[in-house]
Structure 1
Amino acid sequence: MSDKIKEALDYVIDNKKIKTVFQPIICLRNGSVYGHEALSRITCESEIKNPDMLFNAAIKYNCLWQLELLCRTKALEAAFIFMIPPYSKKLFINVNPSIMHDETFKRGFTKDFLRQYNIDPKSIIFEITEKNVITDISSFKSTISYYKNQDYSIAIDDAGSGYSGLNLISDVNPHFIKLDMNLIRGINKDRLKYSLVKGMVEFSKVSNISIIAEGIETYDELETIINLGVQYGQGYYFQRPEENIRDIDESVLKSIIEINSKKNHITNGVTSSIYIKNLARFLYNKLFKRFFKTEP
């Protein structure tokens, strides 16, 4: 079986059998799309069944750099379509921390390299997963500082899925913390999860680190997350990963507007202009479809 996995890995890399799909990250205050996470998918029949299996195989057979390069290039090529103004959103890219300090990787993310895709480093957020083991924390911290000085942002991914999360957050001082979906799943019915996320929100306020809740799948989870004050959300409730970039559905926008209306996001009598625009968009579409239906 191991030989078949190695052959399948080599085939994927050599023939560039990777495509990028995007999942939106939504501002939970006003319903706007803040950015997209780039996710890699295999485009052929293979013994390798999913992305986790693919990257684990790359680590085992010392092909991680080649795979990361392929996935990154595919992501930037696809993102080029929507990173150009006026649709200048953030692009979240997953990176294994074990190769971030590799000089080849650093050379692969120079401003000159990004310029050919018309992408500014300020639009790139590196996602570092807590699941990966970091063996040389001193070198890793130096590497993180290097990327921050180059105007990249850093996100800790899957926070809550490992056992060294607080140390990693303290060492990295990221711009974003992405809460693992297992913390979000059923949070509306779990007081412990609720308390943990509430604590992270309070931490985010004093540390100036934004929280992204991953894996939101139900209205009740969304409502709980918004009421807790989490800044951003991601998950199937908003949109599944897709190759094409599109707006979130009106029903989803309606949910965000309704929940925020209950929470009363009006401060000193002034409401966010984006919130008003999205509210107007929803009401217009609702009334237009009701009173100006056209026959098929």
Structure 2
Amino acid sequence: MNECSSSLLLPKTLDLDGETLAAFYQPIIAMDTRRIMGYEVLARAVKGDSVRSLGPFFCNEQISEEDHIIVDRVLREQAFSKLALMEKEQPMLFINLKPSWIYRYEEIGELYTLSLLDKYGIDPKRIVIEITEESFQGSMERLRSVVDIYRARGCLIAIDDVGSGFSNTDRIAHIQPNLLKIDIHMIKKSATHDGYFGVLRSFSDLAEQIGASILIEGVETREDLARAIQAGARYVQGFMFARAEPAFRESTCFASLIEAELDQHLLHFVGTERYWQRQSEKLAEQWVALVQKTRYLGHEDEWIEGLLPELYDHCIRVYLCNESGIQLSSNYYRESDKAWRREEQYRGANWCWRPYFVPNLVQLNEHRRTIVSRAYTDLDSHAWIRTVSVLAAPGLILLMDLKDSERGVQRL
């Protein structure tokens, strides 16, 4: 395809009806700096005070890919020329590209975005290539090879609509993006649906494992922002801050809003963790008092049975392991408002594969006798629980599962 510029005739399928094609910019705010770190470039048709989104144009499968690309290139050049005029504190630009457009590199032998970098003398580190949602049937290896050309020049890579049908884990694994962009609908659903909550947290864990940052888009309310922060979002965007606009904003214009919500998050998070730490310390004290009254003769079940009457109502399981993760006692388990049940079949089970076991083991010592895990779903009851690990004696760890009754934002 021949390179096109903003002076190129636009396709008739665009149907502007006297409107002007214009690049608009929606701000993206960073939690760490509380500043606008960049803008997503979006297509608009403008006529006087009227502004219309061109999203339907790009989603229309009846319009040829050639026409889509021509319009998109005009917008990209507008955005790059605007960025080049800024001498200081250039924001980042998020450029939306469909996988099929990127995949055409082998046919056309050029990457238009990179040619614009050279034309306008823009630092590639200011550009984020945002791979948008699309049912893509091509080779992931070939797509990755083209993405790597952008990456080699210094551009960052983002995957849009993470959690949708098209932005699957296979695409994420192949591309290894710098940013995972998650729609706010996933956040909202996670407030009341445990399945969505688990998936959301898995994306947060995934981002951590591959060295990516989470960007939550579609933030509209203070509640949305609070949940985005709790979900581990480094960046946010949405109508709560601003719609797409023709001009860049002062980078600090949302700083006070972000600061206030971060303060609230810290206050709640610290309060919650202190509560659980107090709970665990009380359990440890009860255990120490019990051990001082009895001699350990290898009768682990007797020790635990002496502790059961002292346990909190929301404690649903307790057992004793050695430092290798081998369970020495029976399980003692109860459902809500029911008596304790001894489950002898768990003796000898090896729990060192549990995510919390080894990290907790290496931290437990005479100066730190208890550790509380973060909330997770119990395999048997499917309730949200936390595991309290107590250094019961040298080489012995008492583990107690307590229901985490908090919901929504508080449980993340």
CA distance in 2, matches of 1:110, 1:7: 23
Question: Does 2:175 correspond to 1:172?
Answer: yes
Q: 1:107 to 1:165 in 2, by over 3 A?
A: closer
Q: Percent identity?
A: 24
Q: Establish whether residue 97 from structure 1 lines up as the match of residue 114 from structure 2.
A: no
The Cα shift of 1:105 comes to 7.5
Name the amino acid aligned to 1:98: S
**1:254 and 1:52, CA in 2 relative to 1: closer, same or farther beyond 3 A?**
same
- In the other structure, the counterpart of 1:79 is 83
Query: Is the contact made by 2:98 and 2:134 (CA closer than 8 Å) also made in structure 1?
Result: no
Cα offsets for 1:168-204 (capped at 9, x unmatched): 1011111111012321335444443332222211121
Q: How does 1:109-148 map to 2 (within 5 A)?
A: 109-110=113-114, 113-148=116-151
Gaps in structure 2 of 5+ consecutive residues: 1-9, 271-412
Q: Report the CA distance between 1:157 and its aligned residue.
A: 0.5
Q: Which of 252, 256, 265 in structure 1 is aligned with 2:261?
A: 256
Match of 1:36 in 2: 39
- Answer yes or no: is 1:242 the counterpart of 2:252: no
Structure 1 unpaired stretches of 5+: 1-5, 265-296
Contact 1:77 1:117 in 2 (8 A): yes
State the shift of 1:89 in Å. Answer: 2.0
2:154 counterpart (151, 162, 174): 151
Paired AA for residue 93 in structure 1? I
User: TM-score, length-normalised on structure 2?
Assistant: 0.55
1:181 counterpart (184, 190, 193)? 184
**Aligned position for 1:25:** 28
Q: CA RMSD in A?
A: 2.9
Give, in whole Å, the separation in 2 of the partners of 1:105 and 1:51. Answer: 28
CA separation in 1, counterparts of 2:98 and 2:62?
10
Task: Tell which structure's C-alpha radius of gyration is larger.
Answer: 2
Kept in 1, the 8 Å contact 2:161–2:167? The answer is no
Contact 1:20 1:78 in 2 (8 A): no
1:55 to 51, 55, 58: 58
Judging by fraction of residues, say which structure has more helix.
1
SS of 1:43's partner is strand
Distance 1:69 1:134, change over 3 A: farther
User: Matched residue of 2:170: which SS?
Assistant: helix
Whether contact under 8 Å (1:25, 1:35) holds in the other structure is: yes
Q: 1:136: Cα distance to partner?
A: 3.1
Return closer, same or farther for 1:126/1:241 CA change in 2, 3 Å cut-off: same
1:205 is matched with which residue? 208
Question: Contact 1:25/1:234 (CA < 8 Å) preserved in 2?
Answer: yes
Please show how residues 277-288 of structure 1 align to structure 2 within 5 Å: none
TM-score using structure 1 length: 0.74
Structure 1 pair 93–192 and aligned structure 2 pair: CA distance change class (3 A): same
Asked whether the 8 Å contact 2:214–2:232 carries over to 1, the reply is no
Q: Is the 8 A contact 2:141 2:174 kept in 1?
A: no
8 Å Cα contact 1:21-1:243 kept in structure 2 = yes
Q: Residues 233-270 of structure 1, C-alpha deviation per residue, up to 9 Å, x if partnerless?
A: 11112222111221434662343343344246xxxxxx
Among 196, 199, 203, the alignment partner of 2:199 is: 196
SS class of match (1:122): helix
Q: Retained in 1: the 8 A contact 2:39–2:92?
A: yes
CA distance in 2, matches of 1:162, 1:204: 18
User: Larger relative contact order (C-alpha < 8 A, sep ≥ 6)?
Assistant: 1
Distance change >3 Å, CA 91–CA 33, structure 1 → 2: same
| 1:9 corresponds to | 13
Counterpart position of 1:215: 218
Q: Counterpart of 2:246 in structure 1: which amino acid?
A: E
For residues 220 and 137 of structure 2, the distance between their equivalents in structure 1, rounded to whole angstroms, comes to 31
Q: Is the 8 A contact 1:184 1:216 kept in 2?
A: no
Change (3 A) 1:78 1:204: same
Give 1 or 2: higher strand fraction: 2
Alpha-carbon offset, residue 214 of structure 1: 1.0
Give the stretch that moved more between structures: 183-192 or 153-162: 183-192
| Partner SS state of residue 34, structure 1 | strand
* Conserved 8 A contact 1:213-1:232: yes
Give the CA deviation at 1:93: 0.6
For the residues of structure 2 that align with 1:240 and 1:258, how far apart are their CA atoms?
Answer: 25
| Secondary structure at the counterpart of residue 110 of structure 1 | helix
Q: Is 1:227 aligned to 2:230, yes or no?
A: yes
Alpha carbons 1:188, 1:221 under 8 Å: kept: no
TM-fit CA distance, 1:134 = 4.0
In structure 2, distance between residues paired with 1:225 and 1:68: 30
How far apart are 1:211 and its partner, in Å? 0.8
